[in-house]
Amino acid sequence: QQQVKQSPQSLIVQKGGISIINCAYENTAFDYFPWYQQFPGKGPALLIAIRPDVSEKKEGRFTISFNKSAKQFSLHIMDSQPGDSATYFCAASMEGTYKYIFGTGTRLKVLA
Partner 1 sequence: EAGVVQSPRYKIIEKKQPVAFWCNPISGHNTLYWYLQNLGQGPELLIRYENEEAVDDSQLPKDRFSAERLKGVDSTLKIQPAELGDSAVYLCASSTTSGYTQYFGPGTRLTVL
Burial class (CB in 10 A: 0-12, 13-18, 19+), 31: middle
Q: In this structure, which amino acid lies at residue 76? A: H
Question: Does 100 contact partner 1 by CB under 8 A?
Answer: yes
Nearer to partner 1, 38 or 72 (CB): 38
Among 8, 18, 28, 42, binds partner 1 (CB under 8 A): 42
Q: In this structure, which amino acid lies at residue 81? A: Q
Decide if 13 contacts 27 (C-beta within 8 A): no
Among 24, 77, 89, 108, binds partner 1 (CB under 8 A): 89
List interacting residues with partner 1 (CB under 8 A): 6, 32, 34, 36, 41-46, 49, 89, 91, 93, 97-100, 102-105
